[in-house]
Structure 1
Amino acid sequence: MTTIEPRPPAVEWGEPRSRTITWHDPMIVAAMARTMSGLDFFLAMRDGTVPHPPIAMHFDFEIDTVAEGDVLFHCTPDESAYNPLGMVHGGLVCTLLDTVTGCSVHTSLPAGLGCASIEIKVNYLRPIHVVDGRPSRLTAHGWVVRPGRRVVFAEGDVRDADGRTVATASSSCLVFPLEDMPPSS
């Protein structure tokens, strides 16, 4: 077995960077979701009366518009989301698409029901380049294409600041009673 000895950072790497992420108790947010329709829940989140979940805080996802079966989010990824080639990692784009497709489904549900992704297919159409040391602001749109009692189908896309589509997704979400979820502690 080969052991690789850690090397001290090279001077040309520059100073290490860090990022602090702050969020509220996700189980309290989940308890709030049980009492509201999906549309009311996401409108309250957009308006700041319900806190954003930790994943949204991690990637700085912001809600722009919310309607039944339709949501629009945005984010401007910082360099902590870059891949080794200095572009935004596809995993962030997939997470953004999973978020808007799932949220679009949730906005179509009455109080007491929730949803979870059971499948997502992402098509990456172009890389998200860093320009002048900053990536492009990304806008993600998710919408329901076929409602259902147990499974709902949604689609989404992500566009860069110039309006070019960088990725698309199709998703299916399982609908279930939120009473089946464990209670908050």
Structure 2
Amino acid sequence: MNMDIVAVSEGEVVFETRPTQAHYNPLGTIHGGLACTVLDTVLGCAAHSTLPAGTGYTSIDITVSYVRPIQPSAAPLRATGRVRKSGTRVIFAEAELTDSAGNLLATATSSLLVFAHRPQS
């Protein structure tokens, strides 16, 4: 997905992505799937930043709202994810995707299930 970490602090992360032609939809704009994937990533990473070592998480749900079409000229795209409420069972997070001028492109919310991480052997 061509993402880079820009900033990380407890409960908040920022990623940037530079879409390529591979991310275009048939209309010549950036496919909403890229926006959803980047938003899902920052939601999960923001939640992960609040958890102790050995604790895992998985998405329960994600809701994405697309505010405007994402034009190829909008790059780089910046996604910011924040924990709204942390917990030992469920974490609630929100995220936004903006273009290089700071215009809002999409928003997302997610609930994430917290569990003891058990690596596969």
Whether these two folds match at TM > 0.5 is yes
Q: Does 1:89 align with 2:31?
A: yes
Structure 1 segments unaligned to the other structure (5+ residues): 1-58
2:86 aligns to what?
147
Larger relative CO (CA 8 A, sep 6+): 1 or 2?
2
Q: Of Structure 1 and Structure 2, which has the larger fraction of its residues in helix?
A: 1
2:76 aligns to what?
137
Flag as ranges the 4+ runs of structure 1 deviating above 3 A.
none
Aligned partners of 1:159 and 1:165 also within 8 Å: yes
Q: CA RMSD in A?
A: 0.9
TM (norm. structure 2) is 0.96
TM (norm. structure 1) is 0.64
Q: Of Structure 1 and Structure 2, which has the larger fraction of its residues in strand?
A: 2
Equivalent residues in 2 for 1:57-136, closer than 5 Å: 59-131=1-73, 135-136=74-75
| Larger Rg belongs to | 1
- Count residues with an aligned counterpart: 121
Structure 2 segments unaligned to the other structure (5+ residues): none
2:112 aligns to what?
173
Q: Deviations over 1:9-65 (max 9, x none)?
A: xxxxxxxxxxxxxxxxxxxxxxxxxxxxxxxxxxxxxxxxxxxxxxxxxx1110000
Identity within the alignment, %: 48
1:136, distance to aligned residue in structure 2 (A): 1.9
